[in-house]
């Protein structure tokens, strides 16, 4: 198997090893408890041994995946990032937006509710009241 499928099957195997180690250890301890009439001590001990075996399997899987990735990197080299020119740590530079020769349009806030606009307010203020 090659590529991502190999990595996925290896991770699946590690997960199954972890679960099966705990279950087999627990069942073995349970069987011994029934034989020796010592519940629940050997059952707990068997489950702990299963957890330790599961973590050993996890560590072994980690070392296997690490060796595989180092081997692939030495054969193929370190591939460039898919999205840019720089290193993986640096995001790609964005190009400057096109500049226009026209001056920017000033921002005017909308008038408050119930009023037309600041210009109509000025006109109302400047006009003389009727006599």
State the Rg of the chain over Cα. 36
Strand ranges for 24-91 from DSSP E: none
Domain boundaries, the chain: 25-72
Per-residue pLDDT at 39 exceeds 90: no
Give 6-26 pLDDT, tens digit per residue.
656 766 787 888 899 999 999
Q: How far apart are CA 74 and CA 8, in angstroms?
A: 21
Contacts of residue 22, defined as CB under 8 A and 6 or more positions apart, other chains included, come to 47, 50, 51, 54
Per-residue pLDDT at 32 exceeds 90: yes
Q: What is the pTM of this model?
A: 0.50
Residue 113's CB: how many other CB atoms inside 10 A? Answer: 5
pLDDT at 112: 65
Per-residue pLDDT at 76 exceeds 70: yes
């Amino acid at each position: 198997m090659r590529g991502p499928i190999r990595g996925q099957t290896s991770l699946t195997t590690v997960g199954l090893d972890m679960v099966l180690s705990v279950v087999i250890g627990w069942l073995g301890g349970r069987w011994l408890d029934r034989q020796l009439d010592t519940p629940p001590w050997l059952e707990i001990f068997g489950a702990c041994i299963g957890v330790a075996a599961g973590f050993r399997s996890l560590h072994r899987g980690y070392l296997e995946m690490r060796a595989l990735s180092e081997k692939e990197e030495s054969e193929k080299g370190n591939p460039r990032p898919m999205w840019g020119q720089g290193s993986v740590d640096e995001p790609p530079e964005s190009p400057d937006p096109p500049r226009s020769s026209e001056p920017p349009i000033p921002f005017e806030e909308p008038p408050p509710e119930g009023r037309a606009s600041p210009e109509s307010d000025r006109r109302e203020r400047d006009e003389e009241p009727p006599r």
